[in-house]
C-alpha cells in the first residue's frame, strides 16, 4: 500500500522533469517541502477535466470521497485502490474510465515490525528524482468545505517489485513517462489497456533505506522524517 509519501522537490523541479508544459501553472499549487504527507491532507494532482481540455495542477483531498458519500470519513478507507480490481468496484469504475490523475512524489514510506516498535523505511528514486504515481479523482458536491465541492483522490497500488517486496506486498503504481498522455486523457476509455499500464516499477527505479521513527507521528513534517539511520 501507500500510506505516507513525500514531495520535497519544488514545483519547478518536478514539472521540469515530469510535465514541463505545466510549469507556469504549477506554482499555484507549490508547497514548502513535504516530508510526511498523510491521508486526508491535500495533495497535488495533475489531471484533465474533460477530453480536449488542457492539463491542470490542483489540490485534492487524499482519500477518495465518491459523489454519493454522506460522510468524509469514507475517504479514510479509500486512500489506495488495487489496480487489479478497479473496474469491478463501484467507487473506482467511473473514475477509471474518465477521471485519472498523476500524483507527483519523490518518496514513500513502508513500515516493518521490530521488537522495539514499527520501523519506517523510505523508498525513493535511485537517481533522487521525482516520479508520478497513478491515481483517480472524483468530486463530491454534497459535502462542501468552505462552500466548495470536495475534490479527492486515491493512489493506485499493484504488486510490489523485488526491491520492495520484503517490506510490503503492495506498492504504488509509478507510471512511465511514455504512458502519461494515455493515462491522463479522459477520451481514452479502453479499460483493459489502461489496466495494463498499472505494473510494478522496474527493479532498478527505487532504493530503500531506514529512516527516523520521527516520521511515525503524522503531525511531524520536517527533514528529520527522512534522516537515514
Q: How far is CA 109 from the centre of its chain?
A: 12
Helix (H) or strand (E) holding 148: strand 148-159
Catalytic residue among 2, 45, 101, 225: 2
208-to-71, 128, 166 alpha-carbon distances in Å: 36, 12, 10
Q: How far apart are CA 15 and CA 72, in angstroms?
A: 30
Residue 2 designated active-site? yes
Q: For strand 80-82 and strand 148-159, is the pairing parallel, antiparallel, or unpaired?
A: parallel
d(CA 150, CA 193) in angstroms, rounded, equals: 29
Q: 110, 124, 153, 225: which is the annotated catalytic residue?
A: 110
Which residues have a catalytic role annotated?
A: 2, 110
Amino acid at each position: 500500500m501507500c500510506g505516507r509519501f513525500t514531495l520535497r522537490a519544488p514545483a519547478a523541479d518536478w514539472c521540469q522533469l515530469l510535465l514541463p508544459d505545466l510549469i507556469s501553472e504549477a506554482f499555484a499549487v507549490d508547497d514548502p517541502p513535504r516530508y510526511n504527507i498523510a491521508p486526508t491532507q491535500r495533495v497535488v494532482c495533475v489531471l484533465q477535466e474533460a477530453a480536449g481540455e488542457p492539463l491542470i495542477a490542483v489540490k485534492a483531498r487524499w482519500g477518495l470521497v465518491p459523489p454519493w458519500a454522506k460522510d468524509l470519513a469514507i475517504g479514510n478507507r479509500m486512500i489506495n485502490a488495487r489496480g487489479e480490481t478497479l473496474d469491478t468496484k463501484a467507487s473506482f469504475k467511473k473514475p477509471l474510465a474518465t477521471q485519472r490523475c498523476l500524483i507527483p512524489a519523490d518518496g514513500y514510506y513502508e513500515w516493518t515490525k521490530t521488537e522495539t516498535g514499527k520501523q519506517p523505511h523510505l523508498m525513493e528514486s535511485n537517481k533522487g528524482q521525482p516520479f508520478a504515481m497513478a491515481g483517480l479523482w472524483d468530486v463530491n458536491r454534497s459535502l462542501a468545505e468552505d462552500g466548495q465541492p470536495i475534490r479527492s483522490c486515491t493512489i493506485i497500488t499493484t504488486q510490489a517489485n523485488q526491491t520492495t517486496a520484503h517490506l510490503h506486498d503492495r506498492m504504488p503504481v509509478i507510471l512511465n513517462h511514455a504512458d502519461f498522455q494515455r493515462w491522463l486523457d479522459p477520451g481514452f476509455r479502453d479499460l483493459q489497456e489502461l489496466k495494463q499500464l498499472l505494473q510494478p516499477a522496474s527493479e532498478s527505479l527505487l532504493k530503500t533505506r531506514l529512516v527516523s521513527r520521527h516520521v511515525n507521528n503524522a503531525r511531524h513534517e520536517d527533514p528529520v522524517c527522512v534522516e537515514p539511520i
